[in-house]
Amino acid sequence: MKLKDLIEKYGDQEVLCWAERADESLEWVNIKLEPPKPKTVWDLEKGDKYFVACYRNSTYTYDMRTWGNGNYEKAGRETGILFLTKEEAEKDVERKKVETLLLKYGGRRWFNENSENFYIYYDMDIDVVDCTNTYDFHCQGPIYFDSEIQAEKAISEIGEERIKKALFEVR
């Protein structure tokens, strides 16, 4: 018999079982069974909790909501604005803020075959944020700059530590 079948048959019951203690005696142990938590927002089912970042009164709030399988929730999941935890939502907001600043300092999201394509990277061997360019391949996700000077200015203005934390998750 599977656990699912037992729950259907007996409902939400407390489970007691014997466990051997370190001194080799036996004692009753109480085991509470909980449903598995979703691993990603794509695993959310009716009744699961999730978070969404909202901008209110000049600040971000992180609202916990309950999945109801509605169109708003499905659209939010498809566009990447729903999160399993408040911490994930907070990190995503900070990442987006840093990316927006990179764009402010001359960055662009598209690879341009008619110009240089400098982008920012993190070198973990020497713990430094730097920039380089590429001619032969397109990278997924970076913000490109037309010159090394633009990229270095962006790093300087935003701050290397903030970029490390927000874009590369260096703690």
What was the pLDDT predicted at 89? Answer: 96
State pLDDT tens for residues 103-115: 999 999 998 888 8
Q: What is the pLDDT of residue 106?
A: 92
Q: Which residue ranges make up each domain of the chain?
A: 87-171
Residue that is written with structure tokens 């203005």 in the block: 157
Output the average pLDDT for the chain: 87
